[in-house]
């Protein structure tokens, strides 16, 4: 029988007897299998018994080192989530059928032709905000949907004013190109109105309006316009079908669900968000409780009160958008402090807020789900205390990234390498799942730039890498883009991201310290944040240095190989009497320049057109 670690078996024993989805991982962090269960504890435990259903499962079980689970409200919901994860992750032990997917907001600017954007920061009354969302992943997914279905522009106003022809996003049907007049203001405004309806949860109304417009065009024999709307309806229908945990609950409106879990000196508050009856997901928060231990630990209700006060009530500008109509928490509301919180809520929100403590029906399911996910998130956080996971968590915390599961963090780092402008190459390395993902590394040959122009090289590689950013699967979109360089390189990256309509907050420049020593680097940001020096003892900086150095190594090796290949071929070209045809015959006969170099004079003479004198000359030149 296969021997499993005590930690793994202990984790299995702690699983809840609830429906959900489980994922198995190998020692190198690669996912092995995704499955669903009506009872997670019973189903997952069955894999660690003596008998298995098939040799395939038995082989898979032998590779399991870690696991992750997601609790769902029903077995049907688990089935949908399992299906999406299998298509997204392609685990090797699943049977896969090919299938032809401060607070983050979605913002629509108060422009004549409103711009769609990811937004975090102070709100401005000139613009419309939708959210908040539990994490940046949910915002990016919503923006992808709105671009695909409603084709709202995402470019900065400065780019919008100065375009003379449609951009790439129009060519891939993600923007209707109002910048060059390919859609009039009235039609664009109609698309924006539908996008707002969608964000507010009025999916059926949006679908009905689009169907009516399609039929109207068809009756008027405007078949091309009707076909375009038909395709957008199909995209919207596909999106709604693929949303795994976003089941619509008619009439539920906007609800925030809070649950707390505590273990030892650590606590977790789980916040689940429902907007327009649509469950947008949840996020776990971990307060710092200092040196509090033993009997002096705060009660769960105190942790909840502190979180509510800091999360909802610390910023008057955000409160009206942030506070929902219904607050659902698992706590008694009898002490005076709760009454103060209730009054502050209604005062800042400028609306009636309903507080529920004994939920029924749909809301009871949501509260139970939030509680279970709080406990699971806390268990996972307690395990993230040493090694590479601790570095990953430190980086997430230092940069205040909206990432709950550290395995999800994706960092892409770029470096440019050349020798006096010769054989310029750029590298892109990837860090995800707490390890470098060498299979996803890429090299880019840099052409048509002035020798030694590192800025032009960086501009070219970033444009090529992210031109189709919106088409990438969500798990392949980086949370952080590191560029090896200072303010100049960061400015170039900012220009590229602005032109492509991407979030410039992802960009971080790593400016070298004296002698390129780890610990002396400065982090430079593309937005308005001040530069940051973390110091040599920072685990976050150690991780950044590790990724940066790997990008440099990968670029250097690629550049040297390219330079050597160029120089080797030129050595043959330098030999008098060796033209293109003879050079081609030599390389074909011996399988490349190394084979030519290893050949004797007699072997060289066997190639058509190579005399003894020429063979001796070739041999002398290459040795």
pTM here is 0.48
In the CATH scheme, what is the code of domain 6-89? 3.40.1440.10
Q: What is the pLDDT of residues 378-425, one digit of tens each?
A: 887 776 666 788 889 889 988 988 887 888 899 999 988 765 555 578
Q: What is the CA radius of gyration of the chain?
A: 29
Asked whether residue 42 carries a pLDDT value surpassing 60, the answer given is yes
Query: Of 71-80, 215-224, 278-287, 350-359, which gets the smallest average pLDDT?
Result: 71-80
pLDDT score, position 55: 64
Q: How confident is the model at residue 323 (pLDDT cuts 50, 70, 90)?
A: confident
The answer to whether residues 273 and 137 touch, using CB atoms and an 8 Å cutoff, is: no
CA distances from 20 to 38, 55, 76, 487 (A): 7, 25, 9, 47
> What gap in Å lies between CA 604 and CA 589, rounded to an integer?
9
Asked whether residue 620 carries a pLDDT value surpassing 50, the answer given is yes
Residues of the chain with CATH 1.10.150.20: 574-621
Query: Mean pLDDT, to the nearest integer, of 89-118?
Result: 73
pLDDT score, position 101: 29
Q: What is the dihedral of CA 302, 304, 308, 310, to 10 degrees?
A: 60
CA distances from 425 to 76, 418, 495, 554, 568 (A): 49, 7, 21, 10, 18
Return the top range by mean pLDDT from 99-103, 304-308, 494-498, 578-582: 494-498
> What gap in Å lies between CA 609 and CA 258, rounded to an integer?
83
Strands 480-484 and 522-525 turn out to be unpaired
Which CATH topology does 392-562 take? Nucleotidyltransferase; domain 5 (3.30.420)
Average pLDDT value for the chain: 79
Asked whether residue 1 carries a pLDDT value surpassing 80, the answer given is no
Q: Nearest Cα to 373, choosing from 61, 46, 134?
A: 134
Q: What is the pLDDT of residues 304-318, one digit of tens each?
A: 877 887 777 666 666
Peptide bond into 132 cis (omega under 30): yes
Q: How confident is the model at residue 247 (pLDDT cuts 50, 70, 90)?
A: very low
Query: Mean pLDDT, to the nearest integer, of 215-240?
Result: 76
Query: Mean pLDDT, to the nearest integer, of 550-576?
Result: 63
> What gap in Å lies between CA 184 and CA 163, rounded to an integer?
16
> What gap in Å lies between CA 590 and CA 455, rounded to an integer?
40
Strands 435-436 and 422-432 turn out to be antiparallel
The answer to whether residues 348 and 320 touch, using CB atoms and an 8 Å cutoff, is: yes
Residues of the chain with CATH 3.40.1440.10: 6-89
DSSP single-letter state for residue 248? B
> What gap in Å lies between CA 274 and CA 280, rounded to an integer?
6
pLDDT score, position 331: 73
Asked whether residue 520 carries a pLDDT value surpassing 90, the answer given is no
Task: Please give the full DSSP string across 254-298, using - where no structure is assigned.
Answer: SEEEEEEEEETTEEEEEEEEEETTEEEEEEEE----TT--GGGPP
> What gap in Å lies between CA 433 and CA 428, rounded to an integer?
17
Asked whether residue 495 carries a pLDDT value surpassing 50, the answer given is yes
pLDDT score, position 604: 84
Query: Mean pLDDT, to the nearest integer, of 92-112?
Result: 68
Asked whether residue 165 carries a pLDDT value surpassing 60, the answer given is yes
Q: Which CATH number fits domain 255-383: 3.40.50, 3.40.30, 3.30.420, 3.10.450?
A: 3.30.420
pLDDT score, position 423: 58
Q: 3-state DSSP call for residue 70? A: strand
Q: Nearest Cα to 577, choosing from 552, 600, 550, 611?
A: 611
> What gap in Å lies between CA 459 and CA 333, rounded to an integer?
56
Asked whether residue 484 carries a pLDDT value surpassing 60, the answer given is yes
The answer to whether residues 227 and 272 touch, using CB atoms and an 8 Å cutoff, is: no
Asked whether residue 478 carries a pLDDT value surpassing 90, the answer given is yes
Asked whether residue 551 carries a pLDDT value surpassing 80, the answer given is yes
Residues of the chain with CATH 3.30.420.340: 392-562
Determine how many CB atoms are found less than 10 A away from the CB of residue 162: 8
Q: How confident is the model at residue 107 (pLDDT cuts 50, 70, 90)?
A: confident
Asked whether residue 5 carries a pLDDT value surpassing 80, the answer given is no
pLDDT score, position 572: 65
Q: How confident is the model at residue 250 (pLDDT cuts 50, 70, 90)?
A: very low
Strands, E assignment, 276-407: 278-285, 326-329, 354-356
Q: 3-state DSSP call for residue 410? A: strand
pLDDT score, position 98: 40
**What stretch of H or E contains 417?**
strand 410-419
Query: Mean pLDDT, to the nearest integer, of 13-36?
Result: 87
Q: How confident is the model at residue 492 (pLDDT cuts 50, 70, 90)?
A: very high
Determine how many CB atoms are found less than 10 A away from the CB of residue 367: 22
Phi and psi based region of residue 70 (left: phi greater than 0; alpha: psi -120 to 50; beta: remaining): beta
pLDDT score, position 434: 86
What number of residues does the chain have?
623
pLDDT score, position 2: 55
Q: How confident is the model at residue 524 (pLDDT cuts 50, 70, 90)?
A: very high
- Longest Cα–Cα distance of the chain, Å, equals 103
Which CATH topology does 574-621 take? DNA polymerase; domain 1 (1.10.150)
Asked whether residue 290 carries a pLDDT value surpassing 50, the answer given is no
> What gap in Å lies between CA 36 and CA 241, rounded to an integer?
18
Query: Mean pLDDT, to the nearest integer, of 226-244?
Result: 67
């Amino acid at each position: 029988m296969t021997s499993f670690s005590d930690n793994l078996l202990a984790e299995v024993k702690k699983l809840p007897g609830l429906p959900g989805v489980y994922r198995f991982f190998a020692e190198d962090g690669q996912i092995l299998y995704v499955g669903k269960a009506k009872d997670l504890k019973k189903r997952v435990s069955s894999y660690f018994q003596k008998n298995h259903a098939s040799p395939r499962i038995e082989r898979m079980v032998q590779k399991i080192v870690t696991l992750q689970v997601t609790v769902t409200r029903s077995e049907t919901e688990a089935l949908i989530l399992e299906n999406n994860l299998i298509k997204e992750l392609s685990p090797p032990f699943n049977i896969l059928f090919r299938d032809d997917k401060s607070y983050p907001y979605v913002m629509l600017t108060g422009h004549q032709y409103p711009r769609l954007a990811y937004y975090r920061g102070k709100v401005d009354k000139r613009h419309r905000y939708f959210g908040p969302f539990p994490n940046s992943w949910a915002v990016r997914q919503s923006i992808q949907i709105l671009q695909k279905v409603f084709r709202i522009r995402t470019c900065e106003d400065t780019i919008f004013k100065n375009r003379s022809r449609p951009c790439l996003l129009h060519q891939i049907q993600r923007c209707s190109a109002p910048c060059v007049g390919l859609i009039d203001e009235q039609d664009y405004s109609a698309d924006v109105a539908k996008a707002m309806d969608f964000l507010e949860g009025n999916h059926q109304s949006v679908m009905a309006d689009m169907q009516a417009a399609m039929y109207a065009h068809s009756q008027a024999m405007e078949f091309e316009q009707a076909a375009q709307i038909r395709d957008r309806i199909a995209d919207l229908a596909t999106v709604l079908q693929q949303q795994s945990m976003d089941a619509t609950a008619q009439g539920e409106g906007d609800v925030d669900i809070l649950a707390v879990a505590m273990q030892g000196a650590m606590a977790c508050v789980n916040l689940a968000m429902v907007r327009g009856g649509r469950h947008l997901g949840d996020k776990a928060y971990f307060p710092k409780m200092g040196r509090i231990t033993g009997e002096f630990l705060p009660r769960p209700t105190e942790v909840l009160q502190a979180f509510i006060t800091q999360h909802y009530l610390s910023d008057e500008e955000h409160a009206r958008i942030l506070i929902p109509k219904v607050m659902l928490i698992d706590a008694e509301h009898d002490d005076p402090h709760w009454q103060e919180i209730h009054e502050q809520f209604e005062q800042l929100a400028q609306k009636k807020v309903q507080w529920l403590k004994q939920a029924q029906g749909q809301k009871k399911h949501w509260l139970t789900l939030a509680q279970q996910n709080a406990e699971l998130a806390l268990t996972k956080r307690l395990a993230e205390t040493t090694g590479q996971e601790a570095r990953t968590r430190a980086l997430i915390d230092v940069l205040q990234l909206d990432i709950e599961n550290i395995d999800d963090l994706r960092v892409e780092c770029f470096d440019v390498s050349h020798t006096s402008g010769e054989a310029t190459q750029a590298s892109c390395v990837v860090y995800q799942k707490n390890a470098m993902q060498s299979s996803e590394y890429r090299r880019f040959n840099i052409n048509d730039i002035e020798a030694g122009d590192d800025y032009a090289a960086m501009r070219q590689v970033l444009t090529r890498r992210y031109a189709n950013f919106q088409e990438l699967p969500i798990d392949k979109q980086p949370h952080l883009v590191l560029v090896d360089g200072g303010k100049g390189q960061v400015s170039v990256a900012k220009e590229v991201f602005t032109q492509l309509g991407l979030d410039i907050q992802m960009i971080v420049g790593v400016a070298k310290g004296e002698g390129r020593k780890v610990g002396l680097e400065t982090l430079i940001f593309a937005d308005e944040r001040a530069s940051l020096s973390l110091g040599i003892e920072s685990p976050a900086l150690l991780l950044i240095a590790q990724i940066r150095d790997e990008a440099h190594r990968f670029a250097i090796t690629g550049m040297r190989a390219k330079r050597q290949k160029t120089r080797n071929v030129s050595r043959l070209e330098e030999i008098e009497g060796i033209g293109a045809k003879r050079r081609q015959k030599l390389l074909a006969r011996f399988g490349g320049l190394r084979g030519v170099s290893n050949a004797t004079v007699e072997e060289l003479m066997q190639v058509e057109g190579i005399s003894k004198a020429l063979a001796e000359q070739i041999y002398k030149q290459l040795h």
